[in-house]
Amino acid sequence: MTTLRRFTCNDLFNYNNVNLDILTETYNLPFYLTYLAKWPEYCLMAEGPGKQAMGYILGKAEGEGELWHGHVTAVTVGPDFRRQSLAQKLMAILEEISEKVHDCYFVDLFVRKSNSVAINMYRKFGYIVYRTVTGYYSGDEDAYDMRKALPRDVGRKSVVPLKKAIRPEDLEWE
Amino acid sequence: MPPIKDIESFERKVRPIYDALDSRNWKGALKLCQQALQKYPENDLIKVLKAIGLDRSGKREEANQVVDEVIATTPIDEQVLRLAAMVLRGSGRLATITSMYEAAAAAAAAQGPGQAELAQVLLNDVFGAHVRESAFVKQQQVAMKLSKASGPAVGAAGITAERYGWWIVVSLLLQARAALRARSSGRPAPPGQVPAISLEPEKMLALAEGMMSRQATKDKKLEGYEAFMVYVDVLLAQGKIAEALALVAGSLGESCIRLPAERLQLRAVLAALSGDLAACAEALVEGLRLNPDDWGALLLLLDCLLPGTVQASKPSAISDGAQVFTPQHPLILISGGLAEQLPPRGAPLPADGGAAPDAFQRAEALLKELQTLCKESPAALGPGQGGDGKPMIMRGPDLALVDLALRRHRVAPSADTEAAVVDAVLSYFRTYGHLVSCAVDLRTYVAALTGGEAAEQLAMGLAAEAEVAAAAAGTGEKVEKLKALRRQVCAAQLRDELGLPRLEGRGPVAAVEAAQAFMTLYATARPLQEDLDSRERGAADELPALAAAALVTAAGTTPSDAEAVPYMLAAYGTLADALRDRPYGAAMRIAAAELAALLGAPAAAAAHVYKLDVKHIQMDTLASHLLLPPVLTWPSVAAPPPAGPAAQAPGEAAPSASSSGPAAGGSSPLLAKALADTRALFEDHSRDAGETLFTAYNHGMYTKVLEFTAFRERLAAAHTYAVVRAESAIADCLLRGGAATMSGAGAPAGSASNSDAPLSADAIRAAALAAVKSVKGEDTPKKDSLRFNWDLSTRPTWSPPCTAGPSLQPLQWWASRPACARGQAYGRRWWSAPSSAESAGPEAESWRAAQAAAAAHRWLLPHCIAGALGATGPEVVPLREAVDRLQMLLDGSAVPAASTSSPPAPHLCNERALRQLDVQLYRAALAVQEELQQVPGSGNGAVDTAAAQLPLSSGSTLSEAVTAICGAAEAANSRLGAEAAAGEAWGGVLPGGALAQLAHLLREPMTVLAACLQTWQATLKVLQKKRAKGAGGQDGQLQALAAAVAAAAEKLGTAARACGDTLASLKAAAAGRAASVTEALLHFLQERGAGPFGHGARAALTALAKEQVLTLAALAQAASAVAKLAL
């Protein structure tokens, strides 16, 4: 029971039932506004009955050549609305936008190595652990860079896992 | 800037500076700059890099000096300008950035065709500079220049002429919007936002439409989605709905809106706006067959099929009086509220009233069709709709059937229609009772059932369903058991929403029993979720918060505040036990924070809030009403806890305040941090908003330009911002450390930093004189210009939004405890829905009015304090005017008058009474000052003979004010004594009402009064000496005034000392039994059937009791500081 619509600035005033969840990061304003100013099509809010925020996804398209890809910056579902496949729906839409609007080769995301719930969820959605980024998060926690190939990557080159971990400063973007 | 001969060697010098700055090595960067400047003394780039280094290392003034030197030479190098702009922006010098780029662009243009490209790029930056300053007219002029200068291809700044054309359109729309806002508010638009020669906003909209239409006709296309949506919005703003519909349905719509479903929705809602409800319904059904779960579409469908059942937040009517309804959909009003500035356009109701029986039947049939579709063929519904992986749970059509039942009941209520609502709710529960969202989904429907019988029936039905499920799962898998538990939890939540079991008027026992029932059920969750990550939501996490609410309800039923305390502590303990397992349960943390705030434990309250990692925008939406009240009400020397997962919650560590004793004057790091963080949110955004706005222009995100502009205005007008500015200024005046740790310039020098020094009238006067600069009289907040961003839906049911402003929130709760402490039926509270702080209902309306008046009162206080202490200056509102304005706020506000009946115990002051005390105090100060000025000898040689006939005597005014203030303190003091005696039975923890009253009086009116008396005594002494010398004798009036002031000081000193004595003895008694307080409490509670309590409760209760003792100690010190100041 979801109205999917573009994320707006005013949602920042009403998203607490999602963001009070400790696994959901509250970013500073320039962060959200930069995403909205550059990739509004990638920023979507799922709204439930009574205009309750149920969850949202923020993403972008970046990279060059065969590394042109969609990136999931944040996807989160409020604790009240979990176990209804809402995250899957949000991810599917981001993938659809990456494929049909931006013609990307793959979609990727970063996740805390300790967040096994999320990692398993992404696995179910078809993502694989492409590589480890050491000390990516504050508090020195490692990240998994997970990827899912899109139809444009015919040879599925983007999802051949790297054996060696890399450091945050060696990331191609950010 | 002389040209560089050897680029490579220059690079070798400059590169390490960038590296040092990147790695935040400011000192190293500055050193490298110094070295580089020796070789290249005139180089602008190195100079501005140095300025960046200076700025980052806190030497803002020096940094600006360097930048000023550089821009005086009119540099045209992009990088130099960019870095200079960074420094200027950090210092808020937006106008200088603009003139810098204007000069650079002009200089580059003057250099001829060779620099034409650079000139174009710099002109682009001039546009950006105007965007930063919200100079809509000038930005339009620059956009026109840019558009003319650039050809069809991508220009020097990477932008096409077409996009520049849209910059013109958007600049025009911003002017139209500003003009519309000015018209509706009656205040002129800010300078630079509307053309000098006034142009009707309608004309500007028409102009913008003309430009867009020319663009579309010329190229047969539009730039994309953003351009298209702005076009639609402008048409809507002009009421041209048919044109908008044609545009969407036509080829332009097809090419610009790539997602067919979105286009269909837009078509539907435009059809509804045009009054063609049938066409709207048809389009919606077409969309819903592909995505039956779209709740917005389902509701709009029901609105269109049954327009007579729409529940409008504000009834609207068109000119002939016929009812209309305004279709709601996120796809309209997309452009940052352009059309919001205009009266809503609605569709007229059909002749049959829009609620005919056959229309209901049709709606039901459609919903059932969609329901079947969800059940039978989820795979056909595309990706993310159940098409791949696990089927998506689609509860939309099911809940829409509940909505339909309620609409039927609303239109023609009867026992049958009510029973139908009950059945619909039960049916939904049967399907989705195991989902966490079930109770949230049903909340508003259940809240609408006011009839007692129906509610009882529903509660019974829910219980029966839940029991059946529990029995069935008894021997099954863990998953099944969890599902059954969720059903039980949901049933318990919904029963609570129904206000059952009825607790009001039944004494604490029933409420304690209800709490027990919640916790018994909660205990069954534990074995089912042993392996659950502590950061995840548990299966029954709603229950401890409900149990706590029931216990607070018990606290509402006790005859006295003192007797309420053990139940509130029981609630606190219950929450603390549950938080041990589930430390991030937000509802539990918030409830615990509220309880700690009510019981005089600010550090505990803050620790709970910080544990949830509340930050950035949440300083406005949450901290404003969860964190500010405790830190403003209670003195504390505790250090702010770390935020988020690293934070220790109270009870998990000894309270940090226990290590050091409270300081006199009471500088409060917690308060300073809360105020500074909150101010930073608003001040950073006012500085940074221009950057993301310019980014939106550059990326062609035109709807976002309008949206960001609205957002910037909303934050600048935030009520929270007004509150924290006022409270910072007051804290500065009273040397409480409001600005002590404030980042950036502007903190009044020497105000808070000397908070350890004993209070003195001179110090307060100097601090007040500095503080008024940040709360200018002409900027006093007003209801109509404030925006209310508080997320009230996060508040516990038993803690309604206070009307008195954050600094009096705990006191107001205690002063109306029986009305506040009602923990059931959250969904019936006006503030339970998202955005309720800005909703249209009468409760929200009067809450906003009261909050605005309270904020204005606080805003004027620094002026009153400065004025009362004799400080004058261009920024100080004259005392007479300030007092008159305080009185007007009081007269005009809807704050209820103080109760005139005499209750058995001394009554707590309400907000009105306390604000009245301020008025009395400052009126008395004014009277004394005026009398002093008229006393011969005070001026430059006034005539003695006139003095004898002066009828003016301020003595009585002063005496009345002192009596009132001391009376309020004495009342609180004696009440405190009685409460302490009653509290012996459970370890002596005190209620927060009388304490909060004392805290307020000691911190504000008593301190200011004492400072005034000190000043007047000094003045009188000088005058008496003068007169004794000059006239050879004492003047009677002077003597009388001196006597009145002395008597006042005596009275105030005595009252303060009495308070200090009581507080000190209470503190001593509490410290003596610190070890046994928790045991006494638990024993008391167990006797009344509450508990059992675990380690979490014990630790948290002990910490809370300890912190209350610290608060008592701090208040005792504050009292002795007042006494010292007065005598």
Hey, is the C-beta of B437 within 8 angstroms of any chain A C-beta?
Answer: yes
* Minimum CA–CA partner of B441 in chain A: A49
Question: Token pair for residue B601?
Answer: 């434990």
Q: Between chains, do A89 and B696 touch, taking CB under 8 Å as contact?
A: no
User: Would you tell me how many other CB atoms lie within 10 Å of the CB of residue B35?
Assistant: 13
Amino acid at A167: R
The pLDDT, as a whole number, for residue A167 is: 92
The pLDDT, as a whole number, for residue B690 is: 96
DSSP symbol at B414: -
Q: Once rounded to an integer, what is the mean pLDDT over residues A58-71?
A: 96
Hey, is the C-beta of B537 within 8 angstroms of any chain A C-beta?
Answer: yes
Q: How many CA atoms lie within 13 A of B284 on its CB side?
A: 30
Q: Between chains, do B396 and A1 touch, taking CB under 8 Å as contact?
A: yes
Q: Once rounded to an integer, what is the mean pLDDT over residues B477-491?
A: 94
A58 SS3 class = strand
Q: Between chains, do A89 and B384 touch, taking CB under 8 Å as contact?
A: yes
The pLDDT, as a whole number, for residue B618 is: 98
Hey, is the C-beta of B440 within 8 angstroms of any chain A C-beta?
Answer: yes
Which of B436, B497, B432 has the alpha carbon at shortest distance from B465? B432
Q: Which of A11, A24, A29 to mutate to test the interface with B (most CBs of B within 10 A)?
A: A29
3-class secondary structure for B896-952? CCCCCCCCCCCCCCCHHHHHHHHHHHHHHHHHHHHHHHHCCCCCCCCCHHHHCCCCC
The pLDDT, as a whole number, for residue B218 is: 86
Residue B646 has pLDDT above 80, yes or no: no
Rounded to whole angstroms, what are the CA distances from B1031 to B940, B941, B947, B1024? 15, 12, 12, 10
Given a contact cutoff of 8 angstroms between Cβ atoms, the answer to whether B703 and B233 are in contact is yes
Residue pairs spanning A and B at CB distance below 8 A:
181
d(CA B686, CA B91): 12
Given a contact cutoff of 8 angstroms between Cβ atoms, the answer to whether B108 and B118 are in contact is yes
Tell me which residue range forms the domain holding A86. Answer: 3-170
Residue B1000 has pLDDT above 90, yes or no: yes
Q: Between chains, do A91 and B384 touch, taking CB under 8 Å as contact?
A: yes
Which among A16, A38, A48 has CB closest to B618? A16
Numbers of helices and strands, H then E, in chain A: 4, 7
Compute the nearest-CA separation of A162 from chain B (Å). Answer: 27
Residue B965 has pLDDT above 50, yes or no: yes
d(CA B1040, CA B1046): 10
d(CA B501, CA B387): 44
Which among B330, B390, B616 has CB closest to A29? B616
The pLDDT, as a whole number, for residue B353 is: 82
Q: Between chains, do A2 and B707 touch, taking CB under 8 Å as contact?
A: no
Mean pLDDT of chain B: 88
Q: Is B321 exposed, middle or buried (0-12, 13-18, 19+ CB in 10 A)?
A: exposed
d(CA B363, CA B302): 7
pLDDT per residue as tens digits for the range B671-700: 999 999 999 999 999 999 999 999 999 999
pLDDT per residue as tens digits for the range B763-794: 999 999 999 999 999 999 999 999 999 999 99
Residue B320 has pLDDT above 60, yes or no: no
Which of B693, B714, B726, B742 has the alpha carbon at shortest distance from B617? B714
Given a contact cutoff of 8 angstroms between Cβ atoms, the answer to whether B1069 and B980 are in contact is yes
Question: Token pair for residue B59?
Answer: 């030497």
Q: Between chains, do A84 and B293 touch, taking CB under 8 Å as contact?
A: no
Hey, is the C-beta of B396 within 8 angstroms of any chain A C-beta?
Answer: yes
The pLDDT, as a whole number, for residue B476 is: 82
The pLDDT, as a whole number, for residue B551 is: 97
pLDDT per residue as tens digits for the range B340-394: 666 666 677 788 888 999 999 999 999 999 999 988 765 555 545 444 456 678 8
Q: What Rg value do the Cα atoms of chain A yield, rounded? A: 16
Q: Between chains, do A81 and B391 touch, taking CB under 8 Å as contact?
A: no
d(CA A29, CA A12): 9
Residue B654 has pLDDT above 70, yes or no: no
More confident residue, B874 or B662: B874
Q: Nearest 5 degrees, angle CA B81-CA B85-CA B90?
A: 160
Cβ contacts (< 8 Å) between B538 and chain A: which residues? none
The pLDDT, as a whole number, for residue B231 is: 94
Number of domains in chain A: 1
Hey, is the C-beta of B118 within 8 angstroms of any chain A C-beta?
Answer: no
The pLDDT, as a whole number, for residue B1010 is: 96
Q: How confident is the model at residue B161 (pLDDT cuts 50, 70, 90)?
A: confident
Residues 939-978 of chain B with CB under 8 A from chain A are none
Compute the nearest-CA separation of A23 from chain B (Å). Answer: 7
DSSP symbol at B317: B
More confident residue, A137 or B101: B101
Cβ contacts (< 8 Å) between B388 and chain A: which residues? 92
Q: Which of A1, A41, A62 to mutate to test the interface with B (most CBs of B within 10 A)?
A: A1
Residues 705-734 of chain B with CB under 8 A from chain A are 707-708, 710-711, 714
Q: Once rounded to an integer, what is the mean pLDDT over residues B1105-1124?
A: 95
State the helix-helix crossing angle for B7-22 and B26-39, rounded to 10 degrees.
Answer: 160
pLDDT per residue as tens digits for the range B1048-1078: 999 999 999 999 999 999 999 998 887 788 9
The share of chain B scoring above pLDDT 70, in percent, equals: 88
Compute the nearest-CA separation of B701 from chain A (Å). Answer: 6
Q: How confident is the model at residue B948 (pLDDT cuts 50, 70, 90)?
A: very low
Q: How confident is the model at residue B611 (pLDDT cuts 50, 70, 90)?
A: very high
What contacts B1, CB < 8 A, 6 or more positions away?
B42, B43, B44, B45, B73, B75, B77, B80
pLDDT per residue as tens digits for the range B797-812: 999 999 999 999 999 9
pLDDT per residue as tens digits for the range B834-892: 999 999 899 999 999 999 999 999 999 999 999 999 999 999 999 999 999 999 999 98
Q: What Rg value do the Cα atoms of chain B yield, rounded? A: 33
Q: Between chains, do A82 and B622 touch, taking CB under 8 Å as contact?
A: no
* Minimum CA–CA partner of B331 in chain A: A5
Which among A26, A33, A82 has CB closest to B615? A26
Q: Between chains, do B394 and A23 touch, taking CB under 8 Å as contact?
A: no
| Residues B786/B791/B795/B800 CA torsion (nearest 10 deg) | 20
Residue B334 has pLDDT above 60, yes or no: no
pLDDT per residue as tens digits for the range B431-471: 999 999 999 999 999 998 876 899 999 999 999 999 999 99
Q: Are strands B324-325 and A3-6 parallel, antiparallel or unpaired?
A: unpaired
Q: Between chains, do A30 and B688 touch, taking CB under 8 Å as contact?
A: yes
Residue B96 has pLDDT above 80, yes or no: yes
Q: How confident is the model at residue B318 (pLDDT cuts 50, 70, 90)?
A: very low
* Minimum CA–CA partner of B330 in chain A: A5
d(CA B989, CA B981): 10
Q: Between chains, do A125 and B688 touch, taking CB under 8 Å as contact?
A: no
Q: Is B649 exposed, middle or buried (0-12, 13-18, 19+ CB in 10 A)?
A: buried
Q: Once rounded to an integer, what is the mean pLDDT over residues B398-415?
A: 95
3-class secondary structure for B168-181? HHHHHHHHHHHHHH
d(CA B651, CA B834): 32
Residue A1 has pLDDT above 70, yes or no: no
Q: Is B377 exposed, middle or buried (0-12, 13-18, 19+ CB in 10 A)?
A: exposed
Q: Between chains, do B707 and A9 touch, taking CB under 8 Å as contact?
A: yes
Question: Token pair for residue B916?
Answer: 């009245």
Hey, is the C-beta of B1029 within 8 angstroms of any chain A C-beta?
Answer: no
The share of chain B scoring above pLDDT 90, in percent, equals: 72
The pLDDT, as a whole number, for residue B945 is: 46
Hey, is the C-beta of B386 within 8 angstroms of any chain A C-beta?
Answer: yes
Strands (E), A22-77: 44-47, 53-62, 69-77
Q: Between chains, do B388 and A92 touch, taking CB under 8 Å as contact?
A: yes
Question: Token pair for residue A107?
Answer: 């979609």
d(CA B256, CA B240): 20
User: Which domain CATH number covers A59?
Assistant: 3.40.630.30
| H or E stretch at B83 | helix B78-90
What contacts A37, CB < 8 A, 6 or more positions away?
B692, B693, B695, B696, B699, B701, B704, B708
Q: How confident is the model at residue B317 (pLDDT cuts 50, 70, 90)?
A: very low
Q: Nearest 5 degrees, angle CA B1032-CA B1037-CA B1041?
A: 115
Residue B946 has pLDDT above 60, yes or no: no
d(CA B540, CA B538): 6
Compute the nearest-CA separation of B1047 from chain A (Å). Answer: 52
| H or E stretch at A137 | none
- Least confident range from B148-152, B329-333, B580-584, B662-666: namely B662-666
Q: Which of A17, A20, A42, A89 to mutate to test the interface with B (most CBs of B within 10 A)?
A: A20
Residue B1127 has pLDDT above 90, yes or no: no
Q: Between chains, do A84 and B437 touch, taking CB under 8 Å as contact?
A: yes
Residue B656 has pLDDT above 80, yes or no: no
Q: Between chains, do A5 and B331 touch, taking CB under 8 Å as contact?
A: yes
Q: Between chains, do B695 and A34 touch, taking CB under 8 Å as contact?
A: yes
3-class secondary structure for B123-182? HHHHHHHHHHCCCHHHHHHHHHHHHHHCCCCCCCCCCCHHHHHHHHHHHHHHHHHHHHHH
Q: Is B186 exposed, middle or buried (0-12, 13-18, 19+ CB in 10 A)?
A: exposed
Given a contact cutoff of 8 angstroms between Cβ atoms, the answer to whether B435 and A84 are in contact is yes
What contacts A14, CB < 8 A, 6 or more positions away?
A51, A53, B791, B834, B835
**Mind giving me the DSSP string for B539-603?**
TTTHHHHHHHHHHHHHHHHSSSHHHHHHHHHHHHHHHHHHHHH-TT-HHHHHHHHHHHHHTT-HH
Q: Between chains, do A84 and B392 touch, taking CB under 8 Å as contact?
A: yes
Given a contact cutoff of 8 angstroms between Cβ atoms, the answer to whether B562 and B815 are in contact is no
Q: Once rounded to an integer, what is the mean pLDDT over residues B706-727?
A: 96
Strands (E), A67-151: 69-77, 106-112, 128-133, 143-149
B392 SS3 class = coil
Cβ contacts (< 8 Å) between A44 and chain B: which residues? none
The pLDDT, as a whole number, for residue B978 is: 94
Residues 613-632 of chain B with CB under 8 A from chain A are 613-618, 620-622
The pLDDT, as a whole number, for residue B904 is: 46
Q: Between chains, do A36 and B696 touch, taking CB under 8 Å as contact?
A: yes
What contacts B203, CB < 8 A, 6 or more positions away?
none
The pLDDT, as a whole number, for residue B273 is: 85
Residues 597-616 of chain B with CB under 8 A from chain A are 612-616
The pLDDT, as a whole number, for residue B475 is: 78
- Least confident range from A152-166, B229-243, B852-866, B988-1002: namely B229-243
Q: Complex ipTM, two decimals?
A: 0.96
Q: Once rounded to an integer, what is the mean pLDDT over residues B1101-1126?
A: 95
Q: Between chains, do A37 and B693 touch, taking CB under 8 Å as contact?
A: yes
